[in-house]
Amino acid sequence: MERQQDTHDDLQHVADEVRSVLQLAERLREAQGGTLDDESIVAVAEATGTPEEYVRVLARMQQPEKKQGVFSNLKSAFFTLEPDVRSSVLAALAATFTAFFRVVSMVQSGAGATFFDSLSLICLGLAIWTISLSRDRKGAALGGALYGGVLFVSLGLFAYVIQAPWAAPSFLLIAFLVGGAFGGILTQRLIARFRGRLGLQDPMTERQELLRQLVTIQDKLRTGEQSATFVSVDVVGSTQIKAQCDPLSVEFTFNEYHLFLELVAKRFQGRVHSTSGDGAILAFDHPQQAFAAARNLQTGIIELNTFRNKTGSPLVLRVGLHTGTVVAPQAGDLTSLNFAHVIDVAAHFQKVCPPGGIAVSDAAAIHLPGGAPSVGVEKVRAADLSGTVWLPRHAVRALAEGAPPPLPGVSG
């Protein structure tokens, strides 16, 4: 079971890394006036060491999350298709429109026929251009054959619907298929030979340039990569406490509470990362510092409740603790980090922690002397991770005797 969980965590880590590099590649493309295309997909696969098919699947899964227009989403989704599939789709569409405009021109006369013939030629040109950009001769041959086959079928279908004077024996389908295949190979070879003169960048060169940019940016980002431990703290039932007390007493008590958090964090070489209402996130470089600070919070709150709490109700804390790797925008300064999965997990453990306790994730506990058994015996789960609960001695003793633990600051 643990092995399956480890495998799941590894796969999730790979997926998160690929998604982040995909977003980076897309931003690079947008900055250069382009969009996420096949070369971007290949570059991301090479940068992350994952199969192209896996990258394409994740790229398609990201599309619904983007707040763009319908056309932009369709365009991005189209470029995440396999190259052969994309070429086939374009060839089939071009053949369909070529046939439609050609049949319409048959029933027109004068300027109308000329106009639709021009549109038909434009579609033919687009098809030739698309097929010529195929990766290899095989792809060009398949694209050309598909164009010829769809063109023949579409001509007959549209001519029947519009009642146009066009008819061809069915054996000509073979000629259209073979002719399209040879035409595709010929155009692909010509474009490959004169790519430089036409001002086209070689796909391999383009992909290597994007890969170089991705690796350079990733290296710069990793300069702020470090292991960190976050402690999530919250006051249980704070809303009810505030509702039952006068505003001045509430303001004084919770100001003292926040000063208390700052002093404890500083005492154990940490810092207050952020606060939100009565909740706070403390940041530490090592799990041992964080765990010692968390225990000091739970024991020191008794002193605050005894001498500096003016609300008449004891403040009871829930604490969650988790360790992981983060990338700080300013290397070494965890307070410059605004968002991180490690912080979210710490907050999840805080929510499942019993009042007066500390929920320590297994990822953090393994760095403590004695590991998870030194923390406690009660197990919890949060964010698909397991953890162990630490409780003060009086709470553990009360639980063993079958009575609920007393609140901090309240004598038994």
What are the extents of the domains in the chain?
2-214, 224-400
Q: Answer whether residue 145 shows pLDDT above 80.
A: yes
Higher-scoring residue by pLDDT: 287, 221 = 287
Overall average pLDDT of the 286-307 stretch:
94
pLDDT at 331: 52
**What is the pTM assigned to this prediction?**
0.49
Overall average pLDDT of the 161-173 stretch:
80
Higher-scoring residue by pLDDT: 286, 1 = 286
Three-class SS of residue 280?
Answer: strand
Q: At what angle do helices 38-48 and 203-222 cross, to 10 degrees?
A: 50
Pairing of strands 225-235, 317-327: antiparallel
Overall average pLDDT of the 96-125 stretch:
86
Residues linked to residue 358 through DSSP beta bridges, in sequence order:
319, 390
Q: pLDDT category, 315, cuts 50, 70, 90?
A: very high
How far apart are alpha carbons 83 and 73 in whole angstroms? 18
Q: Answer whether residue 312 shows pLDDT above 60.
A: yes
Residue 279 phi, psi dihedral angles, 5° rounding: -90, 155
Amino acid at 184: G
How far apart are alpha carbons 274 and 352 in whole angstroms? 20
Higher-scoring residue by pLDDT: 258, 91 = 258
Tokens of 20: 């982040």
Q: Answer whether residue 239 shows pLDDT above 80.
A: yes
Report the share of the chain in percent with pLDDT over 70. 64
Q: Answer whether residue 11 shows pLDDT above 60.
A: no
Higher-scoring residue by pLDDT: 30, 380 = 380
Long-range contacts of 382-386 (CB under 8 A, 24+ apart): 382/320, 382/345, 382/348, 382/349, 382/351, 382/352, 383/344, 383/345, 383/348, 383/349, 384/5, 384/8, 385/322, 385/345, 385/349, 385/361, 386/361, 386/362
- Given a contact cutoff of 8 angstroms between Cβ atoms, the answer to whether 4 and 19 are in contact is no
What CATH homologous superfamily does 224-400 map to?
Nucleotide cyclase, GGDEF domain (3.30.70.1230)
In 10 A of CB 26, how many CB atoms?
A: 20
Q: Answer whether residue 72 shows pLDDT above 90.
A: no
